[in-house]
Chains A and B, each alone.
Chain A
Amino acid sequence: MGSKIRIKNMDFFYGSNQALFDISLEIPDRQVMAFIGPSGCGKSTFLRTLNRMNDTIPIARLTGTVEIDGKDIYAPKTDVVALRRKVGMVFQKSNPFPKSIYENVAYGIRINRMHKDRADLDQRVEKAIRDAALWDEVKDRLNTSAFGLSGGQQQRLCIARALAVQPEVVLMDEPASALDPIATQKIEELVVELKKSYTIAIVTHNMQQAARVSDRTAFFMLGKLIEVNPTEKMFTNPDEKLTEDYITGRFG
């Protein structure tokens, strides 16, 4: 299986503070890669380099290369808008727009002018909501406010919103950290389902979650990538002593 994303010698700085040190890593196509590590280890920062979300921070600076499908996304001629359409993102705290459920999902389709007509838009919205396993819960109230949904439903709505623009990669930044166990389980089942069609990078605090949903796991500490391995190996027989200490709960 080929690599979707290839990161080479990436250093990342906030002003004069270096947040990531010499990261080299490959993320395989249509797999789930989990990123674990203690708070402040740089895993969220790392995730946000993959769709250039850090561009919104004026003092952020990156060296090294990040290639998606063989193209350097930090090359000067990169179309960031097109990049973000290809690399969707789901955030830690669900962030629906102050619009109806329907319009939340339709937003990305509309701004990227992906639909032919209204019927096509309806279809795309329905498909995205179905893919996010939310359809049966909201089909009768698509025109009501997105804020009327429960936390878990809002998060799945944000996933539907991200899927609606037909990305190839979905980045998830602790998508279940604010949810109860049942809602979390739904999100996890969804992640496993989605990897058939998408490459998924998921940051999580929860090691059991990483073990349950991911094919490969990367362990970060203090801005350095300590170890990357297939998830099963990582949790049973890690190469690094640090990984083992973290996984067995000696620190973190």
Chain B
Amino acid sequence: MVMTTLTAACAVIAIAILTIILTYIGYKGVAAINWEFLVETPKPVGEGGGIGNAIVGSAIMTLLASLIGLPIGIGAGVYLAEFGDKWFGSTVRFVADTLIGVPSIIVGIFVYTLVVLPMTRQSGFAGSLSLAIIMIPIVARTTEEMIRLVPKSMREGALALGAPQWRVTWNIVLPAAASGIATGAMLSIARISGETAPLLFTALNSRFYNFYVDQPMSSLTVQIYNFATGPFEVEHQMAWAATLILVGLILVINILVRMFTKKKY
């Protein structure tokens, strides 16, 4: 009884904090949202303007990061689960766990040194690469866990039919683990859409619509950072509104992935 009450109280607190944050963001942000805000580019303070280019920039960089990070992460996870029992597997696992704990700004510095300096300018690509590096260990470890949950008996069933190992992994194990892997991928996407630090000196920012990833690119998070650290109240309001948009987009990603990965069988 005591146990139930205590754990229930913790659950309520956890949910309550989240609800309060979301409500507050909604309350503060909704007033400044209008069509112009969604499609315009930033203008000098007092002249309105919006975050259209930041939304597009975030979308491009998240997409590109996913295109780089998800295949590598999922591939590495499959390796760890299926063949990673030797020393190499444990090394990769240890490094991945360490990388998950590395503050994201360090990834930003790393990419800054490796990509931005040789290219002599910040770019959407450099930003995407930082985000991808953050994704890979998360996706690899969740994929590994999900694949390990697939019962051994299911693999044996396929092996006993004469399926070679790669087909067992590809047609039986991966589909069986698909919804779990997708959840991991979704979590990593949600995680990188909220990252600011690794973008600050890789993608920088831009005041214009930009579709070229070799140019500096605006993102919602960096834009929020700029608005929020500005001196004017109208900028703070725009920061809240942009935050609301960001949270809304992450929510949409969550719902979409859940819809697509609903267990068919």
Closest residue on chain B to residue A87 by CB atoms: B160
Please, what's the 1-or-0 string for A108-151, where 1 marks a CB less than 8 Å from any CB in chain B? 10011000000000000000000000000000000001110000
Per a CB cutoff under 8 Å, which of B157, B164, B171 touches A158? B157
| Contact yes or no, B160 A53, CB < 8 A | yes
Question: Knowing A91-B153, A91-B157, A111-B167 touch, does A97 contact B172 (C-beta < 8 A)?
Answer: yes
Residues 75 to 127 of chain A near chain B (Cβ within 8 Å): 81-85, 88-89, 91, 93, 95-100, 107-108, 111-112
Most buried by B among A95, A100, A162: A95
* Contact of B175 with A by CB under 8 A: yes
**Residue numbers in A under 8 Å from B6 (CB-CB):** none
**Chain A min CB distance to B89 (Å):** 13
| Contact yes or no, B153 A95, CB < 8 A | yes
**In the complex, A85 Cα to B167 Cα: how many Å?**
14
* Contact of B158 with A by CB under 8 A: yes
**In the complex, A239 Cα to B186 Cα: how many Å?**
65
Q: How many of chain B's residues touch chain A, expressed as a range?
A: 20 to 34
**Residue numbers in B under 8 Å from A96 (CB-CB):** 157
| Contact yes or no, B156 A95, CB < 8 A | yes
User: What total count of A-B pairs have CB within 8 Å?
Assistant: 71
| Contact yes or no, B156 A107, CB < 8 A | no
* Contact of B154 with A by CB under 8 A: yes
**In the complex, A231 Cα to B213 Cα: how many Å?**
76
| Contact yes or no, B156 A161, CB < 8 A | no
Closest residue on chain A to residue B263 by CB atoms: A98
Per a CB cutoff under 8 Å, which of A81, A89, A162 touches B164? A81
Residues 155 to 190 of chain B near chain A (Cβ within 8 Å): 155-164, 167, 171-172, 175-176
**Chain B min CB distance to A173 (Å):** 10
**In the complex, A161 Cα to B264 Cα: how many Å?**
20
Closest residue on chain A to residue B163 by CB atoms: A111
Per a CB cutoff under 8 Å, which of A56, A88, A108, A112 touches B156? A56
* Contact of A51 with B by CB under 8 A: yes
**Residue numbers in B under 8 Å from A98 (CB-CB):** 154, 172, 175-176, 265
| Contact yes or no, A82 B176, CB < 8 A | no
| Contact yes or no, B265 A53, CB < 8 A | no
* Contact of B151 with A by CB under 8 A: yes
Closest residue on chain B to residue A97 by CB atoms: B172
Known contacts A84-B161, A158-B157; 11 additional CB pairs below 8 A are A56-B159, A81-B164, A83-B162, A84-B162, A95-B154, A98-B175, A107-B161, A108-B162, A111-B162, A112-B162, A145-B264
Chain B residues with a Cβ under 8 A of chain A: 151, 153-164, 167, 171-172, 175-176, 264-265
Q: List 27 A-B contacts (CB under 8 A).
A: A51-B160, A53-B159, A56-B155, A56-B156, A56-B159, A81-B163, A81-B164, A84-B159, A89-B156, A91-B156, A91-B160, A95-B151, A96-B157, A97-B172, A98-B265, A107-B158, A107-B163, A107-B171, A108-B163, A111-B167, A112-B162, A145-B264, A161-B157, A161-B161, A162-B160, A162-B161, A165-B161
